[in-house]
Amino acid sequence: MIQGKVAWNRQGNKSWSTGNIQNLCKGTPNPQATVSCFSNGIKAHGNWQQALNTCKANGQSQPATQPTRLFQNNNKSVSFVKMHGAFSCKQDIEQVRKDGCSVPKEWKGVNIDWAYKDNNYNTFASACNSHDVCYSSPWELKGKTGGQRHCDADFKRDLMTICDRKYGLNNKRPDNLIGDIFGGIADVVEEANPELIACRVTAESMYGAVRNHGASAFRGGQTWSKTNCVK
């Protein structure tokens, strides 16, 4: 397969020593791919020793593997990025790890699915997706502690911010004396706003769910990051 058939230099010399044939082919799972790898190496750089060392016993079809494409995450809505900076993974974590919201039907024994069931999935989607990505960020891979706690705390903040922006009044007040007066009135009105109350109760229940039952999901996310992200 090699002797008299495969050139070991750019001058076309096809006379091999038995030792070099054995060195290249011994233990290879794919002799044809190994020989092809060697030939490609000779064509690329002409160094037979380099080509032999690259291709021996590996069954490779090319003298060198292409670098793995990495996806960088620099989304500052994700707790890990805010605290430790951007990170890179072999897959786009924003696409493969987010899966939206799962809203509980009750909170502390009280049925609450009536309060928000018609549109809560869309309302809270951004918070849920950021939380999903946070759980799969490389906390353990990079030796960082408290990952789940930080993710859950930011999740609660994001949920409450969504409620206040959608149903609250204080976020609309100007930053002046009139705004202060308006803010005092808004506080009273907000306390009696059933939509805002329902939103906050649902948000609180969602936060409680991840704090009490999110450990396995966090461990799954960490397993994914150890396989796919760069240390």
* CA 22/CA 1 separation, integer angstroms: 12
Cβ(103)–Cβ(116) below 8 Å: yes
Residue position matching structure tokens 């928000």: 116
> pLDDT (tens digit, 9 = 90+) per residue, 99-148?
888 766 666 666 655 555 555 567 888 999 999 999 999 999 999 999 99
pLDDT of 155 reads 95
Closest CA to 15 of 24, 6, 23: 6
pLDDT value of residue 106: 64
| Mean pLDDT for the stretch of residues 82-110 | 82
Q: What is the pTM of this model?
A: 0.61
Question: At 94, is the secondary structure helix, strand, or coil?
Answer: helix
6 pLDDT above the threshold of 80: yes
pLDDT-derived band at 186 (thresholds 50, 70, 90) equals low
Distance CA 89, CA 177 (A): 49
Q: Report, as an integer, the average pLDDT of 155-162.
A: 93
Among the listed residues 79, 73, 71, the one whose alpha carbon sits nearest the alpha carbon of residue 210: 79
pLDDT given for residue 43 in this prediction: 82
Give the pLDDT score at 51.
79
Q: What does the alpha-carbon distance between residue 181 and residue 177 come to, in Å, rounded to a whole number?
A: 6
Domain coordinates of the chain in residue numbers? 1-66, 71-228
What pLDDT is attached to residue 40? 82
Q: 3-class SS at 106?
A: strand
pLDDT band at 178 (very low <50, low <70, confident <90, very high): low
Nearest 10 degrees: Cα torsion 87, 89, 92, 94:
-40
What average pLDDT does the segment 75-88 reach?
90
Residue 99: CB atoms within 10 A of its CB come to: 9
Q: Which residue has the higher pLDDT, 47 or 132?
A: 132
Those residues with Cβ within 8 angstroms of residue 130's Cβ, 6 or more apart along the chain or in another chain: 75, 77, 78, 98, 154, 155, 158
Mean pLDDT of 33-48: 81
User: Are the beta carbons of 226 and 138 closer than 8 angstroms?
Assistant: yes
Residues 35 and 51: their CA atoms lie apart, in Å, by 10
Reply yes or no on whether the pLDDT at 61 is more than 70.
Answer: no
192-228, pLDDT tens digit by residue? 688 888 888 888 888 998 999 899 999 999 999 999 9
Q: How many CB atoms lie within 10 A of CB 91?
A: 16
Measured CA to CA, the distance from residue 135 to residue 147 in angstroms comes to 7
Chain center to CA of 64: 28
**pLDDT at 179 (0 to 100):** 47
Contact 74, 92 (CB under 8 A): no
Residue 182 has pLDDT above 70, yes or no: no
